[in-house]
Amino acid sequence: MLEALLRPSRVVHAHCDVPCGVYDPAQARIEAESVKAIQTRYQDAEKFKMASETAEDYKSRCLIVKEERADLVKHHLWVLWTDYFKPEHIEKYPDLHDKFWKATKEAGLSKKSQDPTQGQKLLDAIDELGKIFWETKS
């Protein structure tokens, strides 16, 4: 009986422990900028590596961090898609679902790629979503 009294009457979900209502595509963009920068540095590992490491060791570190950052891009995009955008936004922007799908796909491709042009495609996809986001904030 006590358990039934203490059980919440409704369950809510948010990107943090308290639904704060703070959303911004800049979080995804910052991580995507990191992905692209790491892809660029990977290309010239000899120039950027620390004196105490080999270029191959530096490249291995690049890959690990880039993959983590690409996953964070997807996380931040999913938070915007699932928590911020509402049915009325889809009515106004009928291709919104497709744009999110493509952006998260670009994040996955960037995770696998060492080519900075792929990182730029990810940034461009995020910028498209950012434009829509800011149009809906006013």
Note the pLDDT tens digit of each residue in 10-30. Answer: 665 555 555 667 899 999 999
pLDDT tens-digit map of 107-123: 999 999 999 999 999 99
3-state SS string over 15-70? CCCCCCCCCCCHHHHHHHHHHHHHHHHHHCHHHHCCCCCCHHHHHHHHHHHHHHHH
The CATH number given to whatever domain includes residue 115 is 1.20.120.400
Number of domains in the chain: 1
Mean residue pLDDT of the chain comes to: 91
Cα 39 to Cα 64, 69, 121: the distances in Å are: 11, 11, 13
The residue segments making up the domain with residue 97 are: 23-137
Q: What is the pTM of this model?
A: 0.84
pLDDT at 132 over 90: yes
**What CA–CA distance (Å, rounded) separates 101 from 34?**
21
